[in-house]
Amino acid sequence: MRQFIASLIQFLMVCSIPAIIFVSSYLYFDPFKVLWHYDSYSYADVVSNRDFVSTTVFINNHQKNNYNSFIFGSSRTLAFRPDTWKQYLPKNARPFAFDASNESVYGIYTKLKYLDSKNVAIKNALILLCRDVSFAFTEDAKGHLFIKPPAVTGKCNLDFQWRFFKAYLAPKFLFSFYCYKIIGVYKPFMSGYIENRKIAYGAVTNEIDIVDEENEIVKDPVAYYATKTFPVRANNKIDTRHINQRGLFMIKEIKRLLEKNNTNYRVVLSPLYDQVKFNPSDIALLKKEFGNKLYDFTGKNSFTEFKTNYYEKNHFRPIVGTKIMGIIYRDSTMARN
């Protein structure tokens, strides 16, 4: 019997070695940067959860910077530069880009609710709604790249962390991650796991800078766009309806929170290259809530007509965001007061 117990213990110890290795390596590398404190999240090797980055940067810096103006929306908010936006706001405005990858109306709603619960001043807000992603989810996402941080949702941190550890254990991630660690060069098979772009985040305002792409366009736009594929567009295409009852509830709550805080806000429907028009019924619902604060740039227009306004088919450049801000604040009487 003693021999059996000794053999069992030895067997369990041997079997536990892989688990110890996986856990130890995960704790050491912290590939998704969700375990330890970081002064900067710029130039990450691994594709990160942008929502977690935005929230963490806000928490780490709000007391020092006293943010009171916020840009909400998907990664397409990278086109709206906080420093440019500030030109249309009062002199005491302190902008922060509170965006997330594939941001949903649920994410915008929970962020506003979070800020309100912390008594953070929301003096100004610029909200970007995207036809293809904003109303795709009206609850928290499941995947590790899009799950909302517990600091905002109030949900279990253990479950949040477990999602990332499971993602780390995926064979494709492990292979991509350690290949990159060894060779130090991005390869196509690493797509979705390893960043193939140099992405910088503003230390104060948290804005996104896609460093490589912008430099390449400025240096040689012909060469840059020769490597990009843009889809053929259907003329006068109108999207299907996306706003359901749950989504409408959150839209109403967003408006309520903005009005509660006496926020000066604008809501922009993003100009996507595919030129698909936001569904008229959905626009009517948004117009009912936001009135003349809503600006629709979907469909065919001067922004969506030219591929040079885009990095690729999904993200429009800051030159577009700057022009849009000029339009939506053109009649503002409060600028720089």
pLDDT digits (tens, 9 = 90+) for 274-306: 999 999 999 999 999 999 999 999 999 999 999
pLDDT tens digits, 132-176: 999 998 898 888 999 999 999 999 899 999 999 999 999 999 999
Give percent of the chain with pLDDT exceeding 70: 93
Q: Is the dihedral of CA 306, 211, 329, 102 positive or negative?
A: positive
Of 264, 265, 324, 266, the closest CA to residue 297 belongs to 324
- Reported confidence tier of residue 15, pLDDT bands at 50, 70, 90: low
Q: Is the model's pLDDT at 128 over the cut of 80?
A: yes
Residue located via tokens 């849009």: 324
pLDDT confidence of residue 334? 41
- Reported confidence tier of residue 330, pLDDT bands at 50, 70, 90: confident
Give dist(CA 218, CA 280) in Å, integer. Answer: 37
Within 8 A by CB and 6+ apart from 54, the residues are 97, 98, 99, 100, 206
Residue type, 123: K
Q: Is the model's pLDDT at 241 over the cut of 70?
A: yes
Mean pLDDT score, 35-41: 93
Mean pLDDT score, 3-31: 68
Question: Is 149:53 a contact under the CB 8 Å cutoff?
Answer: no
CB atoms near residue 273 (< 10 Å): 20
pLDDT confidence of residue 16? 65
Q: Is the model's pLDDT at 4 over the cut of 60?
A: no
The pair of structure tokens assigned to 71 is 């840009």
| 300 φ/ψ angles, rounded to the nearest 5 degrees | -90, 120
Q: Round the average pLDDT of the chain to a whole number and report it.
A: 91
Q: Could you name the CATH architecture of 50-141+200-328?
A: 3-Layer(aba) Sandwich (3.40)
- Reported confidence tier of residue 212, pLDDT bands at 50, 70, 90: confident
- Reported confidence tier of residue 177, pLDDT bands at 50, 70, 90: very high
The pair of structure tokens assigned to 88 is 């249309």
Q: Is the model's pLDDT at 331 over the cut of 90?
A: no
Give dist(CA 294, CA 267) in Å, integer. Answer: 5
Mean pLDDT score, 191-215: 89
pLDDT confidence of residue 335? 39
**3-class DSSP state of 129:** strand
**3-class DSSP state of 212:** helix
SS (H, E, C) 167-196: HHHCHHHHHHHHHHHHHCCCCHHHCCCECC
**3-class DSSP state of 256:** helix
User: What is the 8-class DSSP label of residue 294?
Assistant: E
Mean pLDDT score, 93-107: 96
